[in-house]
Structure 1
Amino acid sequence: MDVTGPMPVLYVISDALGETAEFVGRAAAAQFVGIKTRIRRVPYVRDEAHLEEILEEAVAEQAILVYTLVLKGLRDYLERRAAERGLKTVDILGPVIEALSKQTGMEPTHTPNIIHRLDEQYFRKVEAIEFAVKYDDGKDPRGVLYADVVLIGVSRTSKTPLSMYLAHKGLKAANIPLVPEVIPPDELYAISPRKIIGLTLRPELLNQIRTERLKTLGLGASADYANLERIMQELEYARGIMKRIGCPVVDATGKAVEETASIVLEILFKGERNG
């Protein structure tokens, strides 16, 4: 089929990547067989000056403006200035946002590129969780070199649950158990002590926790693992390692994982600011 007249031009304008608007534009153009539509995507439009430049070019081509702008001020500006120039506009997100706002009674955040930010946060969290599992309990000390934070301490000082909690915050956490009979990995001394957090508990509480742990395993409470004297020796050994490294130490006695994590995050934040 022969088609006369100028080639239709769509300007896809967005304060993010513009993928959504471009997809809609191409889907619409596909409905017109035999007409070749040119689509020009203009991403990351964040101010009126940029819009003015686009409008000047659009006038010359009599382009249709298809846009996904979440900043209401920019949407209003584009609509007004396009109308003054006789340009057609299609607001893809605006009507849906308005409908949702009326239905929920909530105001939208008007945050550009928010879906990509959420995607990034999600994938970072998944990656951090996988990291915590892979480098839990000193399985592979090489993880120390790539971790955002390394937790060290004797057995049952909440290293694993704390690692997982921090992973859900997007931090890659490795943890290394400190045992008198096992030399700590060299990797611990190869990274900044500001990335290492020592965990400790009162001996009596550790004794209770380990005793309960042995019961769940069907073992007697008299095992050396839960012996109070042995526990005190382990804690003293761990304190020596932590002092040698020069890392911060957190006493997790009487604290929920969330409380300990809050302290750890504050220490890391201060370390970044002072670094």
Structure 2
Amino acid sequence: MKQPVVIYVISDAIGETAQHTIRAVTAQFEFEEQPDIRRHAFIRDEEILLETLEEAKAAGGIVVQTLVSSKLAIFAKNYCEKEKVPNIDLTTDLTLAIESRTGLRSKEDPGNMRRLDSAYFDRIAAIEFAVKYDDCKDPRGLLEADIVLVGVSRTSKTPLSSYLANQNFKVANVPLVPEIPLPEELFKIPAKRIIGLTTTPEKLGRIRKVRLRSMGLDEMSNYSSDRRILEELEYGYETFKTLGCRVIHVEDKAIEETAVLVQEMIQVN
């Protein structure tokens, strides 16, 4: 059996740029075993860089570098040429082209890239928040959320939470079930941060039947019955009125469209 391709990502920042590029390229190949991608971030001196390059050579690896420092980039390039290690430099050529065209000089400050990447870390934190507080697993998260989505089952609360999290919003959601009391925390946050989601009985019935069918369950169960759906939707409207929150009808909207409406509603206040 062939050994997997080993790719060393070497960066003086976090190395995320190279990793995205590698994944885009490797996705075009049918590997017997997926490539072994080894990321070495925050390489800031030649000694550590040399150790990493020697490790890449010993592993028979390919080096993909995003070194902002020209000194380190040249060091890595020279080493790889001498030791016949495949090397792809994702930053130097573009840097030189910009310098040539504009007359400007690169700051060669990997910290700049890291500051730009702060949005990435914020997004990851928001995604983790959405997962942690999905379906009101921990009602304390409602107090920290930028947006709280409330609605009956299958009104797109979870996918909408995930989409908004990718826009850097901390989102929690609360399922509305007539038999389950609302968490106390829901009444401690401003109504302007709460968005109700609803739909038509017909649409909800179709979605629930498909959901039950996909799980191998009886699609004619109480969960998808007309009586139960009307009961839940009515309870939803009563809850929205009690909370004083705005409401979005999701039946004819894509997740992206609903997300835009949510953001507009939140920003108005």
2:192 aligns to what? 194
The one of 100, 112, 137 equivalent to 2:97 is 100
Give the direction of change, closer, same or farther, for the CA distance of 1:157–1:106 in structure 2 (3 Å limit). Answer: farther
Counterparts of 2:147 and 2:217 in 1: how far apart (Å)?
34
Counterparts of 2:165 and 2:194 in 1: how far apart (Å)?
15
Number of residues paired by the alignment? 181
2:172 aligns to what? 174
User: For 1:138-153, what aligned pairs fall within 5 Å after superposition?
Assistant: 138-153=136-151
1:185 aligns to what? 183
Alpha-carbon offset, residue 107 of structure 1: 11
Question: Which contiguous aligned blocks of 4+ residues in structure 1 show a shift greater than 3 angstroms?
Answer: 95-98, 105-108, 110-114
1:234 aligns to what? 232
Alpha-carbon offset, residue 226 of structure 1: 0.3
Alpha-carbon offset, residue 225 of structure 1: 0.4
User: For 1:109-128, what aligned pairs fall within 5 Å after superposition?
Assistant: 115-128=113-126
Q: Deviations over 1:157-176 (max 9, x none)?
A: 00000000011111110000
1:51 aligns to what? none
Letter in 2 for 1:237: Y
Letter in 2 for 1:149: I
Letter in 2 for 1:140: D
Is the partner of 1:253 in helix, strand or coil?
A: coil
Matched, 1:265 2:238: no
Q: Deviations over 1:53-92 (max 9, x none)?
A: xxxxxxxxxxxxxxx9xxxxxxxxxxxxxxxxxxxxxxxx
Instruction: Provide the TM-score with structure 1 as the length reference.
Output: 0.60
Counterparts of 1:166 and 1:196 in 2: how far apart (Å)?
14
Task: Compare CA radii of gyration and give the structure with the larger one.
Answer: 1
Is the partner of 1:218 in helix, strand or coil?
A: coil
User: For 1:45-60, what aligned pairs fall within 5 Å after superposition?
Assistant: none
The one of 185, 204, 207 equivalent to 2:205 is 207
Give the direction of change, closer, same or farther, for the CA distance of 1:106–1:123 in structure 2 (3 Å limit). Answer: farther
Counterparts of 2:208 and 2:243 in 1: how far apart (Å)?
26
Q: Deviations over 1:97-154 (max 9, x none)?
A: 7523379x8999x999752442210110000010000000111111100001000000
Sequence identity percentage:
47
1:220 aligns to what? 218
Is the partner of 2:117 in helix, strand or coil?
A: helix
Letter in 1 for 2:98: S
Counterparts of 1:187 and 1:107 in 2: how far apart (Å)?
57
Report the aligned-residue RMSD. 3.0
Counterparts of 1:231 and 1:101 in 2: how far apart (Å)?
60
